Amino acid sequence: MYRLLFLQFLRSKAVRAGLLLTLLLGGISIGIGHQFLDQKNAAIDEVERYQKQHIERNVELHKDDLGLLMYYLKFAFVNSPASLAGLSVGQSDINPIIQRITIKNLEGQRYDTDLVNPMNLQSGNLDLSFVLIYLFPLLVIVFTFNLLSEETETGTWRLVAVQAPSKRKYLLTKLSVRAVLVYAVLGILLIAAKIVLSIPLDVNFMMVVLLSIVYIAFWFGVCFFVTAFNKGSHFNALLLLSTWLGLLMLLPAGINAYITNRYPIPEALTTMISQRDGYHTKWDMDKTETLKKFYGHYPQFETFGYPTEGFNWTWYYAMQQMGDDDARKDTEALWQKIRKRESVSKRVSAFLPNMHLQLAFNGLAGTGLGEQLDFLEATNAFHEELRLFFYPMVFKEVSGNRVDWTKFTPKYWSQNTEGENPIRYLWPLLSAAFIVMLGCAVVFKRWY
């Protein structure tokens, strides 16, 4: 019986087309994820090589003037992508994973975007997370919209009603045939992704698997709920596709419009101007004044005194420092606003399974906005460390040859995930699935 149900189901052209298309696009998406990781890793290898040459060349040119040398030298700080990033590219296509910064004012450097074609951004990444979030619900819809109605429309339902020991059991068996197939496709794609992207079998990947399973169950629930009302096939198809359109496109787009309009970020532009003015206007101001402010920030350097005659590097880097210091208020406002945006969008998305899943995937893969902000904050610390190391040497006018440059290879950053239990991603989705299942159970009991 089970085998026959399978065969009967697989005879439908739409079913086979749906299976094939999902597998095909899933395959493409894994390939794209692989390419994405390859490109990022190649870029990291490149920065390793480049930084060595870059330092050697500039040390050779400017070793006698450490202040000038530090004007040119860039140090790489890398947010190397986890292999899960190939599964959920998230925001890491627009935000650079490599920061190359000098010890000059930081606010002017760290917001630079990566090279990216905006058309690609608009159309979005075709990564496995897209296939999971968008296409699997469609597959579920195609598989189940006529679960019951095809029987009533072809007249077989009466036969079933008479012959089957339990109508409920028959419907559930039919449903399980579909579920087995959909989960088989999911399994194939996840295993393929695991192998191709060499994803480690860790908690994060397990969470991705678990979340996907629950998400698909949610959609099975929605579809079963709709079909159980025993309306016509075309009514079901239409209602389910509209639900899909509403949940996956209209609602997120509406929420996005709300957030964008509710929390505009003029602070970004203000910071950009104030960091420039903070530094550049110091060229025309009293040097002692600037140095005083600088020593106010770093009292430990006051021993370098107040050289005011002509150009000197102590004063120069004090001015650079003022770019950051004078912009501090605006920077803080900017960060507050972005964090606010992030938290609002996370809170809202908890009510929308697909949005929540996307943010959860990004979070697990380290490619979300929150992770990018953490990386930027870590860049801040990295920059400060460089400053504190080089400032005294520059002020003392140490020769460039006396610095051990081999130490200055690119530094890597990785997300500190301690204390963050990934299980927390599961609750909103689990509750959504539970509510839908409950609805199904009620309807099912009443009708059959």
Partner 1 sequence: MKKINIGLFGRYFLKNVMQTKVVYVLWGIFTLLTVYAAVSGIHNYEEQNTIRKEHQRKARQSWEANPDKHPHRMAHFGSFAFRLKQPLSMFDYGIESFTGNAIFLEAHRQNSVNFSDAGFSTGTLRFGELSMAMLLQLVLPLILFFLGFSTIASEKENGTLKILLSQGAGWKEILLGKSLGLFALALLFCTPIALITLFFLFFSETPMDPYDTWGRFLWLLGGYLLFLWILSVMSITVSATARSSKNALLTLLGIWLLMVVLVPKTAQAIGNAVYPTPSKLSFQSAVERDVIKKGDSHDPNDPYFNKLKDSVLAVHKVDSVTQLPFNYGGFVMREGEKTSANLYGKHHDSLLHIYEKQNDLSHYVSVLNPFLAIKTLSMAFAGTDFKGYVDFQRQAETYRYQLAQEMNTLQMDYISTKKISGSEGKQHVVGHEHWEEFPDFNHRALPLQSAFQSTYLALLSLLGWGVFSILGLGYLSKKAKAI
Cα 83 to Cα 319: distance, rounded to the nearest angstrom: 42
Matching residue, tokens 């000098």: 102
Report the residue number, 61 or 381, with the smaller CB distance to partner 1: 61
Does the footprint of partner 1 cover residue 349 (CB under 8 A)?
Answer: yes
Asked whether position 280 contacts partner 1 by CB under 8 A, the answer is: yes
Task: Name the β-bridge partners of 15.
Answer: none
Segment near partner 1 (CB under 8 A); pick from 41-49, 187-195, 197-205, 212-220? 41-49
Please select the residue that binds partner 1; options are 21, 188, 214, 426, rule is CB under 8 A: 21
Beta bridge partners of 100: 76
- Assess contact for 315 and 286: CB atoms under 8 A: no
Residues 282-301 contacting partner 1, CB under 8 A: 283-284
Mask for 44-83, x = binds partner 1 (CB under 8 A): --xx--x----------x----------------------
Under 8 Å between Cβ of 73 and 54 = yes
* Listed ranges 126-134, 188-196, 289-297, 411-419: which one lies at the site for partner 1 (CB under 8 A): 126-134
Report which of 181, 176, 146, 154 is spatially closest to residue 10, judged by C-alpha positions.
Answer: 181
Nearer to partner 1 by Cβ, of 7 and 257: the residue is 257
Binds partner 1 by CB under 8 A, chosen from 56, 64, 153, 332: 153
Of residues 213-252, which lie at the interface with partner 1 (CB under 8 A)? Answer: 232-234, 237-238, 241-242, 245, 248-250, 252
Nearer to partner 1 (CB atom), residue 210 or residue 241 = 241
Task: Output the six-digit token pair for 184.
Answer: 């088989």
Interface mask toward partner 1 for 318-347; x: CB under 8 A:
--------------------x--xx--xx-
Decide if residue 155 touches partner 1 (CB under 8 A): no
> CB of 367 within 8 A of CB of 80?
no
Element (H, E) at 188: helix 167-196
List the one residue out of 378, 385, 372 whose CA is nearest residue 81: 372
Rounded Cα distance between 317 and 394, Å, is 9
Residues 159-218 interacting with partner 1 (rule: CB under 8 A): none
CB of 34 to partner 1, least distance (A): 10
**Choices 164-172, 210-218, 322-330, 354-362; region in contact with partner 1 by CB under 8 A:** 354-362
Binding to partner 1, residues 128-147 (CB under 8 A): 130, 134, 138
Q: Which region, judged by CB under 8 A, interacts with partner 1, from 87-95, 179-187, 380-388, 423-431?
A: 87-95
Structural contact between residues 294 and 322, judged by C-beta atoms closer than 8 angstroms: yes
DSSP bridge pairs for 99: 77
Neighbouring CB atoms inside 10 A of 291's CB total 22
- Using left for φ > 0, alpha for ψ between -120 and 50, and beta otherwise, residue 37 falls in alpha
- Does 39 help bind partner 1 (rule: CB under 8 A)? yes
Name the residue nearer to partner 1 (CB basis): 253 or 381: 253
Stretch that binds partner 1, among 161-169, 210-218, 366-374, 393-401 (CB under 8 A): 366-374
Instruction: State the residue for tokens 């390859």.
Output: 38
Q: From the CB of 418, what's the least distance to partner 1, in Å?
A: 23
Distance from C-alpha of 69 to C-alpha of 102, rounded to nearest angstrom: 10
Rounded to an integer, what distance in angstroms lies between the CA atom of residue 439 and that of residue 432?
11
Q: Residue 368, interface with partner 1 (CB under 8 A)?
A: yes
